Every structure is written in C-alpha cells, then in structure tokens.
Amino acid sequence: MEDRLERVSDAARLPEPRAAGDLARPARNASRGNRPPIPRYLGLSGKLLAFTLAFVLMAEILIIVPSIAAFRVNWLSDRLAGARTAALVLDAAPEGMIPPQLTRELLGSVGAITVALKRDDTRRLLASSDMPPEVDLHVDLRDVDPVQAVAQAFETLMASDGRIIRVVGTPPRGGGFVEIVLEETPLRKAMLRFTRNILLVSLVIAALTGALVYLGLAWMFVRPMRRLTQRMIAFRENPAVPAPALGPAERMDEIGLAEREFVDMQRQITETLQQKNHLAVLGLAVSKINHDLRNLLSSVQLISDRLADIRDPAVQRFAPKLEAALDRAIAYCEHTLAYGKAQEPAPERRMVALAPLVAEVRDTLGLGGSGEEAPAIGWVASIERGMKVDADPDQLFRVLLNLSRNAMEALSARAPNDPARDQIRITGRREGIVAIIEVADTGPGVPERAQAHLFEPFQGSARRGGTGLGLAIAAELMQAHGGGIQLVPGTIGATFQLRVPDRPVDLEAHRAARSHG
C-alpha cells in the first residue's frame, strides 16, 4: 500500500496540463513562423478572367478566319457573275461588231483585264486589254476546298500589290467554263477593310460576351468560393472562436454541398476542441485532487492499521474489506490519472470467476444486506455455475461497478424505492469462446438524445451532474480486451451487454508447457 501511495504522490507532482487551445496555439504559431512566405499567384478571379479572354479570342479566330476566306470567294464570285453577263453580251453580238469603247466599259464593270469563254473544244477570248499581263496565280471556283480557301485568303492578305490572278468559274450556260484575269490589289484592299470592320465588331461583341460570362461565373462560383476560403482562413487562425454563419445554403450544386459540409465539419471540430479542453481541465483537476487525496488516504491507512489490532470480531471481519477498498481507491487514482493522459494500461488477463466478482461489486455498492439492513434497491445475479471470464479482474470490476452504479443512481432518482420493483440484474453466460455479461435495471432507461454519443467522454451522461466518463471508460476497457459494450434496445429500463472473447490459445506454447511439466 505504501508503494501505491508513493506512486500517487509522484503523479500528483506532475506539471499542470494546459488547456487544449493553449497547447495548440504555440505549435500553430511556431509552424506559421517557420512557414515560407506565400507566393502571389494569379487568383481564381484572374484565372477566370484569363480563361474567359482566351475562350473568347479562340471563338473570334474561329469566326473571323472563315469569314475572311468566304469574303474572298464571294468577291471573286461577284466578278465571275459580271463576267458571265459580259460573256452573254459579247457572245450574242456578231464578231467584230462591238466597239472597243464598249469592250473597255464591260471589262471595267467586271474589274477584269480579260474575259474568256470555253465551250466544248473551243476557247474564245471575248474581251481583252491591249496586252494581257502574265498570270501569277490560278484560282478555280468550280470546286472550292474550305482549307485551301483559308490558306489562299491569308496568302492574298500577305501578297504584294500588282499581282495578277486568273479566276475560273462555271459558264453562263452549257458546258465549259468562263475565266477572267484581273489584278489582285483591289481584292486585297477590300479584304483588309472587311477584316478591320469585322474585327472591330467582333471585339465589341467579344468584350460584352466576355464581361457577361465573367460576371456570371464570378457571381456563381468565385464569390461563394472566396467567402468559403475566408471562413476557412479565419477558422484556422482561431478555431476556438465561432465563425459567423454562412447563411442558409440553399444551393443544390457542388458549391452548396461544400458549404454545408464545411459547416458540419467546423461544428464537429469545435466540439472536439471543447472536449479536448474539457479533458485538459479534467487532468488539471485530477492532479490537484490527487494531491489532497493522498493525504486523506494516508490518514485512513493509519486508522486501518490501528483497527487491525482490535480483537473485536466485527472489526476483524470488516478490516480486510476496508483495506481492499483502500487498495481499490489508490488504484482508481492511478487509473484516473492514466485516463487523463488518454491511455489505459494493457489488461493483465487471466481466467476470473465471475460470480465472486459480481458479489464484490454488490458489496461495494452496499446492496448486499438482508433483513432490517436490506437495501431499498433489489439485486439479482444469475451467473452460470462455475463461469469464468478471460479478463483483467480489476478492469472488469471497474466496468461492472460503473454500470451498476449508473443503474443504482437511475433507480434512486424515483425514491422511495421498492426492491420488488427497482432492481439491478446481472446475468452471465457463455456463447462458445465469448463471455456474455448483461447489466440491466428496471429504471427509466436511456433517453434518445443521449444514445447517439453514449460511449463518448462527457457526452453519454443522461443524469444532471454526471461527468459522462463512466461509459467511456467501460467502452475503452472492453475494446482493450478485444470485446465490446452495447446498449440492448427494446428492454425495460437500460440493459448493457458486455462481450469478452477468450484469447486465442497458443498450441505450441501449450504443448511446451505440458511437456515441461
């Protein structure tokens, strides 16, 4: 016992823990102090603007380039149409009867140097200037390829003045073709004017379209994303301070889903931080209480030593129980300190008889009297004969004591009690290699609001003034045994079921032990 008192005293001299927020703040500030400066990249708005401009310019290119090529083809087609009209006039007149002045006027209306008509196997020069120049480029409009038309349009824009081209098209009637020879400079100037005009109109339309697209996307995506980002930054800077509400997220798209999920995540993190703060404060309180409790236990130890010398039969009967209670009190101090550190010692498992352990829980709660000393709360134990559990006896005692004390407190709340009505029932049975233990009561049961977080620290208490640690400790100890604890639904009052599986048997070690024996 003195060794345990020394360990408790040493634990009481541990440095006082700080709150979780205080623990997190220096680390966060240190990480921020070592964090490299954030580079100034193009923001989402700038990227969206650049994307919109690039998209609009690409659309303009896809519109303007074919338009220039079509303008060139239409311009040449208009000249061929005039040539067909002139060809009809010249072809209908007798040869040599058209005055030279009329020929020049017809060529001038067409804008051509020569006009020729081919039918069948004959080719007739209907009109010509005094000396036809040498042709630099041949263009056939009878079969226009779109890609070739675009390439020839750019070639015309880049050509020098004075280039002569020959254009071939369909004749006015019948087979053959009509061709004209003309200077390309007027065509190039007309294409430049058309390009300038369509470019100006396209830029105006592109600017309006781009502005509308940018504003629409900024309103639908950039603004909510900026608002969400600012809230994330504010939450990172000070997670303990609740951030202002985002407002009702009525959007049903991904942005609305992200806002709702972030609100839920922020609430969960805030609750977790509050629990961590609560645990830190609990550790500080336990350290202080443990320091004072050590002095009280020392006094009680001296008294128990003196009681052991008294020869009274009643004293001799209760002295061992008092000493055992002191040992358990010291062990509880150690376990409480261990839980404040968020860790429990590994269970020291062995085969433990369940019935005596349950009887010890009953005596600890003061429910083992009879006759005039019978308690107001009934105790019913139904354990299979000779049933043993592969568990740590101290840890299993803690679990059963926590559950039984919760049941007794729930029944005591409706005093005066009647042992025929208000009962605590503990049953034990085996299902193969699993020991099943149930702790039930006939009380009001567990409220639905407490069932969702029943086994979480500070969350599962349904009683005013309860800490909510008993069930959390029980769940942790059961998990350490490879088992579990659950609330059985649909029962009168509250029924908690414990499942403790046996450890796997090491056959090789078992054979070695038997051969050694």
pTM over 0.95: no
Euclidean distance between CA atoms 5 and 422, whole angstroms:
38
pLDDT by residue for the chain (517 residues), tens only, comes to 445 444 444 444 444 444 444 444 444 444 444 444 444 556 666 777 777 778 877 887 888 888 888 998 898 888 888 877 777 766 666 655 566 666 667 677 777 777 777 776 666 666 666 666 788 888 888 888 888 888 888 888 888 888 888 888 887 666 677 888 888 888 889 999 988 888 888 888 878 877 887 788 778 777 777 777 877 887 777 776 665 555 555 667 777 777 777 778 878 888 888 777 777 777 667 666 665 665 566 566 666 666 767 777 776 766 776 777 776 676 666 555 555 454 567 899 999 999 999 998 888 888 876 655 667 889 999 999 999 999 999 899 989 998 998 898 888 888 788 888 889 999 999 999 999 999 999 988 888 877 777 887 655 555 554 456 778 888 989 999 999 999 998 888 899 999 999 998 765 655 665 666 5
Task: Annotate 61-77 with b (16+ C-beta within 10 A) or e (fewer).
Answer: eeebeebbbbbbbebbe
Distance, CA of 287 to CA of 213 (rounded, Å)? 64
Q: Are 481 and 500 in contact (CB under 8 A)?
A: yes
Rg from Cα positions in the chain? 49
First to last CA, the chain: 35
Q: In 3D, which of 169, 173, 172, 170 has the Cα closest to residue 182?
A: 169
* CA–CA gap between residue 325 and residue 148 (Å, rounded): 102
Domains of the chain: 44-200 (no CATH), 345-516 (3.30.565.10)
Helix or strand holding residue 306 (H, E): helix 254-308
